[in-house]
Amino acid sequence: MNAIPAIRWQKLKKQSSSFFVTGFAVLLLAAFLMPFLYMLFTSVKTFTQMTAANSPIWPAANPTYVYQGQNKATYTFTVNKAGFPVQQVVNMNDFIGKTLQIYSVPLADGSHKNLALLLGYNKSSIFLDPQHPAAAPIVWTGFFKALPRPWTLSPTWSNFLAVWNDINYPRVLGNTFFYAITTTIGVLISCTVVAFGFSRFRFPGRDLLFVVMIATLFLPATVTIIPTFTFFVKIHWVGTWLPLIVPTFFANPYDTFLLRQYFMTLPRELDEAAMMDGASPLRILWSVILPQSWPVIVAVTVFHVVYAWNDYFGPLIYLSTNMNSQPVSVALARFNGIYGQQPQLIQAGALMTLIIPLILFFLAQRFFVQGIVITGVEK
Amino acid sequence: MENLTHLPKLPSIGSIRKLPPNAKREFRNGMGFLSPWIIGFLAFTFLPTIATLIFTFLNLKITDGLFSPLKFVGLDNWITLAKDNTIWNARPNSSPGALWITIRFGLLALPVGILVPLGIAVLMNSPHLKARNIFRTLFYMPYIIPFVASVFLWAGVLNPETGWINQILVALGVPKGSLPGWANDIHWVYPAYILFGIWGIGNAFLTMLAGIQGVPTELYDAAKVDGAGGFASFWNVTFPMISPVIFYNLILSVVGLFQYFLVPLAFNLGTGDPGGATMFLNLKIYKTFFLFQNMSYGSTLAWMLFLVILIVTIVLFSTARYWVYYASERSN
């Protein structure tokens, strides 16, 4: 009898659950990503807005009005400049082509109107109504500087230009690309070779070495940095790219593990057939394994490019003496030291730093996610 | 799933000579392919670790020549360390030592670093969630933002005067006098760092989500038959099934938290401000070596940190058998 209402009730319940769960996730995500919005808004604000009290959170500017000369008459007003009334002559021709500041002026009827300031004094001011430029000016009693100013949406792009020039962005970007590309080549060559060794040969000691390699993931970098850095100082590599690039050609445990896990899933029949045909192991790696492995190769490439792009500590210690070679992370930190009091420049710089890894991530997110899942779940 | 708690039984390397020729070739080729890692491991990991240990018994300066005679000082550096109040002090109402600072912050940050990604993973797994791939991508996204850039974003948001978080608090009615000072305030600097740390949950939540999605649905059906509700089925099915992933993330978090120093270096310029609350152990090592160029004492602190991490990791691994569930192990 009540079968249909029951189904409807079920459906309604399901819809409302998905409404509440998704709504909750949206709220959570909004809080989580709020700093992004802060960055986007702040990076297109002006310094004036940053320092103005009661300015809105979105990028805005105080509107102005350029008088076109719709009214060429001359008026004489009695105004209170500094405590006593005086005569003031206003010739509208004087204001043609002038940029006038807009204030929110309280009128006699209690409403507020945005008026353009013609002449302002301590005790009263003369305004023009921009909506009726041909009408006579309006005298208002009070101190104009105490009036609120309206804000209108107005993003400014000059912060990006300032950062671009100040940190020499093209060079910094070139350095970062150079670092990312050379080290990614190092990682791809060395890690595929080592992963092939771990996944396709059986010999005594292999599993011990694998365990040692995984254990190094948990070794604090601090325990190796002092002799390593000192050694690089002694051979005059500090201030060059070499300490950052050369070690990447000796396989890191993270990417090797990822590649090895993938290679393990590939069927051995193909490499055995190639071996029968007399192919060398290196040939098998190149012609049999790698063509089947492009998803994991893409994942490792993206991981490493992002890692190199974001790396801060390595370039900080090895390139702090060489400003011309610094990548974007170090240059941005230096920029912050100079312009720390100008958040709009800092946020513009941050946006210019994160935009490329962000684009790369969105393009390759499928491989990214797979790679992380392989390393995290299978250990 | 591989098992981190039990290492495989290994044949000794001494038995290689007795191998048949086929196996010898396999050994030669295999070691050949592993050689880049082996050389790199020796050059950049093993030898530096040993060198750091040797440095702790010397009196070295970075200006010494590569072959200048070594000055052995025995256990002097270790004795200095044992007496170093700036490391060990844990008395209340006095400036805390670096190890205590590290542990205290770690105890606050660790639960957040595990429970927040777990909570988000559970939410992302909800059958009621629409467009979950978009949510998954966006919750992961901050993880790939350059560290320096994300520090600037958070320093901006957490700015006591102009930051949005305090402006929201004002809008919610918090009086201006009692607003948190975040990174400049000795009582709020850890919450500020922990909030910042939430942006680093990407890997943890993705691996936990994958773990949750890998739980066979029959187990949930069986739990339902037994009358388990939402929480009971999470506690009795999901949690044990994903305990290896949680354990993996726990180990990574603990190791990471003991080495915590880039955040105070970037947020508070490595000064230890406010009030010495951010002079973490690893930051102290960094300053001892890079700023004060004291190689030997820096090395001693580094080895101390290494030993502390080793001991804590071993303790965690020894607890694993009581709460980490390895399917492959039980089915044998």
Q: Where are the domains of chain A?
A: 85-150, 159-377
Cβ–Cβ under 8 Å, residues A231 and A352: no
Helices A253-265 and A343-377 cross at an angle (nearest 10°) of 40
Phi/psi of residue A240, nearest 5 degrees:
-120, 175
Within 8 A of B251 by CB-CB distance, chain A residues are: 218
Written as six digits, the tokens of B295 are 């190689």
Given this model, what pLDDT does residue B15 score?
A: 53
Where is average pLDDT lowest: A3-7, A224-228, A254-258, A333-337? A3-7
Cis amide prior to B117 (ω within 30 degrees) = no
How many angstroms separate the CA of residue A162 from the nearest CA in chain B?
17
- Interchain pair B298, A226: CB under 8 A: yes
Distance CA A266, CA A268 (A): 6
Say whether pLDDT at B1 is over 50.
no
Written as six digits, the tokens of A345 are 């420049």
Within 8 A of A43 by CB-CB distance, chain B residues are: none
How many angstroms separate the CA of residue A131 from the nearest CA in chain B?
35
How many angstroms separate the CA of residue B93 from the nearest CA in chain A?
30
B27 touching chain A per CB within 8 A: yes
Q: What is the ipTM of this complex?
A: 0.86
Residue of B nearest to A228 (CA): B48
Cβ–Cβ under 8 Å, residues A367 and A298: yes
A280 touching chain B per CB within 8 A: no
- Interchain pair A201, B2: CB under 8 A: no
**pLDDT tens digit sequence for B168-197:** 999 999 998 889 999 989 999 999 999 999
Given this model, what pLDDT does residue B79 score?
A: 95
**pLDDT tens digit sequence for A98-116:** 889 999 888 888 888 889 9
B156 touching chain A per CB within 8 A: yes
Say whether pLDDT at A138 is over 60.
yes
Q: Of the spans A217-221, A242-246, B4-8, B15-19, which averages the highest pLDDT?
A: A242-246
- According to CATH, the topology of domain A159-377 is MetI-like fold (1.10.3720)
- For residue B189, the one-letter residue type is V
B175 touching chain A per CB within 8 A: no
Number of H helices, E strands in chain A: 15, 9
How many angstroms separate the CA of residue A65 from the nearest CA in chain B?
29
Q: What is the H or E stretch that residue A58 is in?
A: none
B325 touching chain A per CB within 8 A: no
B170 touching chain A per CB within 8 A: no
Tell me the count of A-B CB pairs closer than 8 A: 288
**pLDDT tens digit sequence for B50-98:** 999 999 999 887 777 667 777 889 899 999 999 999 999 888 888 889 9
Distance CA A50, CA A56 (A): 10
Given this model, what pLDDT does residue B2 score?
A: 42
Instruction: Give me the torsion for CA of A130, A134, A135, A136, rounded to 10°.
Output: 100
Given this model, what pLDDT does residue B259 score?
A: 94
Within 8 A of A332 by CB-CB distance, chain B residues are: 146, 148-149, 152
C-alpha distance from residue B69 to each of B58, B65, B237, B300 (Å): 11, 9, 63, 20
Written as six digits, the tokens of B275 are 């009030």
Given this model, what pLDDT does residue B47 score?
A: 96
Cβ–Cβ under 8 Å, residues A207 and B8: yes
The arithmetic mean of pLDDT across residues B194-208, rounded, is 91
CA A365 to chain centre: 17
Given this model, what pLDDT does residue B331 score?
A: 38
Given this model, what pLDDT does residue B13 score?
A: 52
A353 touching chain B per CB within 8 A: yes
SS3 content of chain B, % helix, strand, coil (to 5): 70, 0, 30
How many angstroms separate the CA of residue A237 from the nearest CA in chain B?
14
CB-side neighbour CA atoms (13 Å) of B132:
15
A223 touching chain B per CB within 8 A: yes
Percent of chain B with pLDDT over 90: 59
Q: What is the H or E stretch that residue A91 is in?
A: strand A85-91
The arithmetic mean of pLDDT across residues B263-273, rounded, is 89
C-alpha distance from residue A318 to each of A227, A228, A229, A232, B165 (Å): 14, 11, 8, 9, 36
* Kind of pairing between the strands at A74-80 and A85-91: antiparallel
B188-B192-B198 Cα angle (round to 5): 145
Cβ–Cβ under 8 Å, residues A332 and A353: yes
Q: pTM, whole model, 2 decimals? A: 0.87
Distance CA A356, CA A180 (A): 12
Residue of A nearest to B64 (CA): A234
The residue ranges of every structural domain in chain B are 85-331
A302 touching chain B per CB within 8 A: no
Residue of B nearest to A351 (CA): B149
Distance CA A175, CA A327 (A): 5
How many angstroms separate the CA of residue A222 from the nearest CA in chain B?
6
A236 touching chain B per CB within 8 A: no
B198 touching chain A per CB within 8 A: yes
Phi/psi of residue B161, nearest 5 degrees:
-95, -50
Partner residues linked to A120 by β-bridges: A125
Q: For chain A, what is the largest distance between any 2 Cα atoms, rounded to a whole number of angstroms?
A: 109
Cis amide prior to B180 (ω within 30 degrees) = no
- According to CATH, the topology of domain B85-331 is MetI-like fold (1.10.3720)
Partner residues linked to B58 by β-bridges: B72
Confidence of residue B3 (pLDDT cuts 50, 70, 90): very low
A338 touching chain B per CB within 8 A: no
Within 8 A of A226 by CB-CB distance, chain B residues are: 48, 51-52, 55, 289, 295, 298-299, 302
Distance CA A64, CA A41 (A): 22
Say whether pLDDT at B263 is over 80.
yes
- Interchain pair B148, A332: CB under 8 A: yes
Partner residues linked to A102 by β-bridges: A116
Where is average pLDDT lowest: A118-127, A200-209, B10-19, B301-310? B10-19
Task: Give the burial string for B62-72 (b: 16+ CB within 10 Å, else e).
Answer: eebeeeeeeee
Residue with tokens 């890191």: A252
Within the 286-315 window of chain B, which residues sit less than 8 Å (CB to CB) from chain A?
286, 289-290, 295, 298-299, 302-303, 305-306, 309, 313
Given this model, what pLDDT does residue A165 score?
A: 92
Say whether pLDDT at A342 is over 80.
yes
Given this model, what pLDDT does residue A3 score?
A: 59
Given this model, what pLDDT does residue B38 score?
A: 97
Residue with tokens 């070495």: A209
E strands of A7-130, at which residues? 60-61, 64-66, 74-80, 85-91, 99-106, 112-120, 124-128
The arithmetic mean of pLDDT across residues B226-234, rounded, is 85
For residues A29 and B2, which has the higher predicted lDDT (pLDDT)?
A29
| Nearest CB neighbour to B305, from listed A18, A218, A220 | A220
- Interchain pair A222, B282: CB under 8 A: yes
Cβ–Cβ under 8 Å, residues A205 and B11: yes
Say whether pLDDT at A308 is over 70.
yes
Distance CA B305, CA A216 (A): 15
Cβ–Cβ under 8 Å, residues A374 and A258: yes
CA A168 to chain centre: 18
- Category of B272 on φ-ψ map: left (φ > 0), alpha (ψ -120 to 50) or beta: left
**Closest-CA residue to B40 (of A193, A311, A2):** A193
* A56 DSSP assignment: -
Within 8 A of A249 by CB-CB distance, chain B residues are: 36, 40
A234 touching chain B per CB within 8 A: yes
The arithmetic mean of pLDDT across residues B134-161, rounded, is 92
A108 touching chain B per CB within 8 A: no
Within 8 A of B292 by CB-CB distance, chain A residues are: none
Written as six digits, the tokens of B98 are 């670096």
Say whether pLDDT at B332 is over 60.
no
**pLDDT tens digit sequence for A15-30:** 888 999 999 999 999 9
The arithmetic mean of pLDDT across residues A304-312, rounded, is 92
Within 8 A of A44 by CB-CB distance, chain B residues are: none
**Closest-CA residue to A90 (of A124, A45, A54):** A124
Q: Give B217: exposed, middle or buried? Use CB within 10 Å, 0-12, 13-18, 19+.
A: exposed
Q: Got the DSSP string for B242-301? A: HHHHHHHHHHHHHHHHHT--HHHHHHSTTS--STTTT--HHHHHHIIIIIT-BHHHHHHH
A308 touching chain B per CB within 8 A: no
Within the 65-94 window of chain A, which residues sit less than 8 Å (CB to CB) from chain B?
none
- Interchain pair B30, A329: CB under 8 A: no
- Interchain pair A204, B16: CB under 8 A: yes
Residue of B nearest to A219 (CA): B306
Cβ contacts of A251 within 8 Å, gap of 6 or more: A187, A190, A191, A193, A194, B36, B37, B40
Written as six digits, the tokens of A144 are 């104009």
Cβ contacts of A98 within 8 Å, gap of 6 or more: A66, A67
Phi/psi of residue A78, nearest 5 degrees:
-95, 115
